[in-house]
Structure 1
Amino acid sequence: MSLSTLEALWVFSEEIRKSRFRAIAGPIDSPDQAQAFLRAHADLQATHNCWAWKLGVQYRSSDDGEPGGTAGRPILAAIETQGYDRVMVIVTRWYGGIQLGTGGLARAYGGCANKCLQQAPRLPLVVRTPARCNCAFNELALVRLRVAEAGGEIIGERFDANGVDLELALPPSGFSQLAEQLAQLSRGRITLLAA
């Protein structure tokens, strides 16, 4: 399964045995963004704001006062099961007076997160690897074009007296073809290096 992220913020609400649950899912690019997302979307008047996020190999979750393992882990499982990355989900609960039990809580939190993510607009996550190269000033426009055609991005340019040092982010599948194109373009002078 190829990984996806979210195109934009998405909200899903449901009532389970008189408790209201609201899932808010959104894209994140760093642990700091996850903390900012939590501050922006947690409802301090609610009974619980349980959450999970996944960012590559990093992940975190919180039960926010619910019994251990009944909220954060089911939310994280929903993110992973649906093939998402670079995503945070907060499931907020307003207690309705009926106990759900540990199994019921896990189903409620995981289910609400699952339904939210199923309905949210997906964006394919393109994994890119860092690379670098150096080109002459007169080659820069063509190098930019070739990088874009390979599905890559130029994330940094540093100009000096000898030309331009470029920092790139490339899909792994396009690395060797781009290396060959840049070598041909410059008669062997431009070397694409993994950073």
Structure 2
Amino acid sequence: MSRVFTVREPAEAEYEIKRSRFIAVIGPTADSTELEAFLTGLARRHPQATHLTYAWRIETPQGLRERAFDAGEPSGTAGRPILAHLQGRHLVNVCLAVIRYFGGIKLGAGGLARAYGHAAKLVVEQARIVPHVIYQPVTAEIDYSRFQHLDRQLAPLGARILDADYGARVKVTLEVPEDNLGELERLLASH
């Protein structure tokens, strides 16, 4: 599995060429609800913008989904150059939008593609990029005496307890980074 990355918080960059203003914004969007909220927020912040173009990539249980949107610009001149930067940096669970305020001078198809691509590049360079961690759920039953020390043993694995049900033994529901699943299973087997 190749390493993938994401962003923790939104970042913004601005670029101007031939009086057209390009404002690029990248933000975390883990699902369609967050994606819609992100784009709606940008549309509200920039109601006078000529175009609000974007691309997104989201991990789903069915696999990676991605989309590019030109927002009325000539086909392939906005969304695709933006998407290329997300793909090139292996970014997932993000949306990158570029808002354009037209300055009165046409840039041509090549100029538009370069301008949107450059704005996307600038904001990706500004963003705080971090590894994207996929968590796996794990359920186990352990003795009470072992449960008391479990938190300390989970921390180095990046695992955390989501729920505990106290019966004859403790039934715990955990989540662990996918890369540490085997190590967690060995730890739990020793309990």
Structure 1 unaligned regions, length at least 5: 187-195
Greater relative contact order (Cα 8 A, min sep 6): structure 1 or 2? 2
Q: 1:144 aligns with which of 148, 151, 166?
A: 151
Deviation at 1:107, TM superposition (A): 1.4
Question: Runs of 4 or more off by more than 4 Å in structure 1?
Answer: none
CA-atom RMSD, angstroms?
1.9
Matching residue of 2:16: 15
Q: 2:167 aligns with which of 154, 161, 168?
A: 161
Contact 1:157 1:164 survives alignment (8 Å): no
Contact 1:146 1:178 survives alignment (8 Å): no
The count of aligned residue pairs is: 184
Contact 2:6 2:94 survives alignment (8 Å): yes
Matching residue of 1:44: 47
How many Å separate the matches in 2 of 1:28 and 1:141? Answer: 36
- Which amino acid is the alignment partner of residue 108 of structure 1? A
Structure 2 unaligned regions, length at least 5: none
Matching residue of 1:119: 126
- Which amino acid is the alignment partner of residue 110 of structure 1? G
Residue 82 of structure 2 corresponds to residue 79 of structure 1: no
**TM-score normalised by length of structure 1:** 0.85
How many Å separate the matches in 2 of 1:26 and 1:44? Answer: 19
Contact 2:12 2:126 survives alignment (8 Å): no
**Structure 1 residue matching 2:24: 3-state secondary structure:** strand
Matching residue of 1:103: 110
Contact 1:19 1:93 survives alignment (8 Å): yes
**TM-score normalised by length of structure 2:** 0.86
Deviation at 1:158, TM superposition (A): 4.3
**Structure 2 residue matching 1:2: 3-state secondary structure:** coil
**Structure 2 residue matching 1:11: 3-state secondary structure:** strand
